[in-house]
Amino acid sequence: MNTLVFSPFIKLCLALHLLAVLLLCWQPAWWPGLLGLLVLLHGLIALLGLLPRSTLLGPNLTRLPPSAIRRGEVAITIDDGPDPAVTPAVLDILRQYQVKATFFCIGERAVHYPELVRQAAQEGHAVENHGQRHRKHTSLFGLAGWRREVGEGQATLQAITGRAPQFFRPIAGLRNPLLEPVLQQLGVFLASWTRRGYDTRVRDPALVYARLTRQLAAGDILLLHDGNAARMADGTPVILQVLPRLLEELSRRQLQAVTLPQACSPAPAAAKRAS
């Protein structure tokens, strides 16, 4: 249970560190060059942590599995909630179109608005883990920090919905190599996205919609926000203008919106791990 299992890329990096130590013992005069190579290696690791869709730090669900693609499925994921000013309207739209979505909820917000989280779960939407505190420095966490952020989020959402989340998405998808071992220990899978509309910053619904639907295809994981949603000039959250158009476009293209657990049952193919 406590064994740390790293991705093949990270194992390679560890092996290169060991090789550098051996070379340093053999040829101490090489230390400037070896140090420079290790700095470059750590820079590469840091860069990969800033790329939400990278798979080199560990399994990462960026698209739905082939079985879901064959069924013509896509997943709408909605982050940063619950928000009492936005989430109820989002749920109303989804109910009107008879569509299920995946809500990546922040634990601290879920504690304040448990009825919204419970309502989403009762209406057939998936409630997944977006971290307990959603702090911007989460990508700098060590093992203990990730265990708190992910583990407390799991406990909070399970207490509210009666179901343990299957997926975790860090803030902005940012992470480091120590997240994957924690996810393995907790039995949770990392999920990012295929495309996003940047609807926390962009106030133009047409632009957000265009980004989400450009090359839209079966298997896509789409990212929107009910929490931290950008507002139009009249104060309307952008998601409330984009979501109906998006659902109508999915219908026109004969694509079915499903939750991540539905699409990936029994487990995300892209994230199956060797025992």
Which residues are tagged catalytic?
Answer: 79, 225
**Burial track 24-47 (b if 16+ CB lie within 10 A, e otherwise):** eeeeeeeeeebeeeeeeeeeebee
Q: Give the C-alpha separation, 5 to 149, whole Å.
A: 19
38-44 long-range Cβ contacts below 8 angstroms, 24+ apart: 41/13, 41/16, 41/17
Measured at the CA of 274, the angle between CA 104 and CA 75, to 5 degrees, comes to 25
* Residue of 268, 261, 253, 239 whose CA lies nearest to 94: 239
Report how far residue 252's alpha carbon sits from residue 74's, in angstroms, rounded to the nearest whole number: 13
- Residues in contact with 75: Cβ distance below 8 Å, sequence separation at least 6, in sequence order: 64, 101, 102, 220, 221, 222, 257, 258, 259, 260, 263
Beta strand extents in the chain (DSSP E only): 73-81, 102-105, 126-129, 167-168, 189-190, 195-196, 221-225, 256-258
Could you give the CA distance from residue 218 to residue 181 in angstroms, rounded to a whole number?
30
HEC assignment per residue over 183-210: HHHHCCEEECCCEECCCCCCCCHHHHHH
Do 149 and 141 contact (CB within 8 A), yes or no?
A: yes
